[in-house]
Structure 1
C-alpha cells in the first residue's frame, strides 16, 4: 500500500513538473533561437524548438533523490553519473553537432558506472539455449554491448512526432509491471518516473502551436534508462521469476520482444546502409516510420500509434508463449517474424532512395518533358505558318530578329 501511494505521488509530481516547465524551455529556446532547422531528411517543415529532454534530466534526478532509500545496492549513485554524462553529451549534440565516435565514447563511460554495480550483474542465463553460469568478464561484454545497442536504437527511432514517446511509454508500462511483481520497487518507481515525463512531453510533441522535440538530450537519457531497466531485468535472481507469467529461461526473449521496435528498426537500417556502402550511422529516410509515412501516406500520429500498438501486442504474444514454450521454439518464431517484417519493408526497394525522392524526381522529369514538347509544338507551328506565308507570297521573311528567336528557342530546348 505504501508503494502505491509513493508511486501515485511520484507520477503526479513528475507529470506536473514536466508539463509546467516545458513551455518555459520552449520560450528560452525560441528567444535564443536554438531551433531545429528542417532539411531534406526532416519530417517537419518549419523551425521547431528542441531540448525537450532537458525536462527529463532534472525530473529524473529529483525523483531519484526522493526514492533513493529503496535502492538496496545504492544504484542511484551509479545511475546519476551516467545520466549526467549523457545529458551533457546530448545537449552539446543538440546545440553543436558532434561525431558518432564522440557520442559512442561518452556512452561507454556512462555504461561503466552501471556495470560496476553488483545489482546489475548477470550471473546466469538460466538455461537459455542451454547456457547457465557465465563468467564476470563475459557479463561485462554482454551487458556493455546490450546497453550500447539499446541506447543507440532508441536514439534512432526518434524521427517523427510521438514515436519515441509512445514506444517509451509502452516499454515503461511493461517494466513497471515486471518490477512491481518481482518486488523491485525502486526500479518500478524509476519506470513510473520516466513514464510520467514521457506522457507530459507527448502532448507538446504532438502539438501544432507549442511543438518541441526531445532531441538527442532526451533520446539518450530515455534510452539509457531503458537499458538500465533491461539489464536489471536480466539480472533478477531465479526466485524473483516465480510470480512472473513466463518461464525463467525465456527472459532474454521477453527482453527482446519488449525492445522489438527499436532493435528491428536499427538492424534493418544498418543493413540497408552497409549494403549501400555507407556508414551505419549515416543519416537517411529509410527507417520503418519513414516507410509508413512516405509510402503508406500515414500521418505522424497514425504511424506512432500503429507502431506502439504493434510493440505492445508483440510483447503480450511472447509473454503468453513464454509461459509454456521452450526457448528454442520461441527463437524460431522470433526469427520468422523478423524475416517476415524484413520482407515487408524491404520489398518496396527503399534501399537506395526514398519514395518521396523518387516522386519528386519523376515529377521533375515529367514537367521537363512537357515543356520540351510544348516548345517543339510551338516551333513546328511557327515553321508551318512561315511556310504558308512563303508559299503565298513567294518570299520567306527572314531577318535578324527571326534568326535570334530561332537561336533562343533552340538554345532553350537544348538546355532542357
Structure 2
C-alpha cells in the first residue's frame, strides 16, 4: 500500500513540476534568444526553444531525494554524479556545439560512477548462449559499452517532434512493470518519475504554439536513465525472475527488444554512413524517422506514434516467445526480424545530396504556409484594433 501511495505521489508531483515549469523555461529561452535555428538537416522550419531537458534534471534530482529509502546499495549517490555530468555536457552542447569526442569522454566518466556500484554488477548471464559466470573486468567492458550504446542511440532518435518522448514512455512503462514484478521498487519509481516528465513534456513537444525541444540536455539524461535500468535488469538475481513472464536466460534478448527502436536505427545509420565512407557521427537524414517523413509523407506525430506502437508490439512478441522458446531460437528470430527491417529500408539508403532539392522545396512550402498564417493573424489583429472603441 505504501508503494502505491509513493507511485501516485511521484507521478503527480513529477508531471506537475515538469508541466508547470516548462513554460517558464520557454520564456527564458526566448528572452535570451537561445532558440534552435533550423538548418539544412532540420525537420522544423521555425526557430524553436530548446533546453526542455532541464526540467528532467531537477525533477529527477528531487525525486531521488524522496525515494532514497527504497534502495539497497545507496544507488542514488552513484547516479547523481553521472546525471550531473551529463546535464552539464548536454546543456553546453545545446548552447555551444561540442565535438563527439568531448561528449564521449563525459559519458565514460558519467557511467563509471554507476559501474562501480555493487547493485549493478552482472555476475552471470544465467545460461544465455551457454554463458554463466562473468569475470568482473568483462562486466565492466560489456556494461560500459552497453551503457554508451544506449545513451547515444537514444540521443540519435531525437530528430522529430514526439519520437524520443513516445519511445521513452514505452520503454519506461515496460521497465516499471518489470521492476514492480521483481520487487525492485527503487527502479520502478525512477522509471515512473521519468515517465511522468516525458508525458508532461510530450504535450509541449508536439504543440504548434508552445513547442520546445528536449535537446541534448534531455536526451542524454533520459538515455542515461534507460541505460541504468537496462543494466539493473540484466543484473537481477535468479530468484527475482519467478514472477516474470519469460525465461531467465532470455533476459538479454528481452532487453534488446525493449531498446529495438534506438538500437536498430543507430546500427542502420552507422552502416550507411560507413558504406558512404563517412564518419559514424556524420549528420544526415538517413534515420528511420526521416524516411517515414521524407519518403512516406507522414507527419511528425504519425511517424512518432507508429514507431512507438511498433516498439511496444515488438516487446510483447518477444516476451511471449521468451516464455517458452530457448534463447538460440530467439536469437535467430531477432536476427531475422532485423535483417527483414534492414531490407525494407535498404532502398531508402540515400545520400543527403539526392534529397536536397526535395527538402528545400518542402521547406519553402512550409515557410510560405507560415507566412500566410501569420499574415492572416495580423489582419485579424488589425481589424480588432480598428473596431475597438477608443
Post-superposition Cα deviations, 1:274-326, rounded to whole Å, max 9, x if no partner, equal: 11111100110000000000000000000000000000000000000000000
**C-alpha contact (below 8 Å) 2:291/2:348 kept by paired residues:** no
1:357 aligns with 2:356: yes
1:64 aligns with 2:67: no
1:150 aligns with 2:145: no
Q: Which protein, 1 or 2, shows the higher relative CO under an 8 Å CA cutoff with sep ≥ 6?
A: 2
Cα 1:171/1:108, change in 2 over 3 Å: same
Give the Å deviation of 1:355: 6.1
Distance across 2 between alignment mates of 1:360 and 1:73 = 51
Cα 1:240/1:54, change in 2 over 3 Å: same
- The number of aligned residues is 362
**C-alpha contact (below 8 Å) 1:15/1:197 kept by paired residues:** yes
Matching residue of 1:211: 211
Distance across 1 between alignment mates of 2:360 and 2:4 = 57
Post-superposition Cα deviations, 1:180-220, rounded to whole Å, max 9, x if no partner, equal: 00000000000000000000000000000100000000000
TM-score normalized with structure 2 length: 0.91
Cα 1:354/1:266, change in 2 over 3 Å: farther
Partner SS, residue 312 of structure 1: helix
Cα 1:65/1:343, change in 2 over 3 Å: same
Give the Å deviation of 1:348: 3.3
**C-alpha contact (below 8 Å) 2:286/2:349 kept by paired residues:** no
Gaps of 5+ in 1: 364-416
> Root-mean-square deviation (CA), in Å?
1.2
Distance across 1 between alignment mates of 2:243 and 2:353 = 47
Matching residue of 1:31: 31
Distance across 2 between alignment mates of 1:190 and 1:67 = 8
Post-superposition Cα deviations, 1:131-159, rounded to whole Å, max 9, x if no partner, equal: 00010000000000000000000000000
Partner SS, residue 324 of structure 2: coil
Distance across 1 between alignment mates of 2:278 and 2:355 = 20
1:161 aligns with 2:140: no
TM-score normalized with structure 1 length: 0.86
Cα 1:204/1:362, change in 2 over 3 Å: closer
Matching residue of 2:272: 272
Gaps of 5+ in 2: 363-390
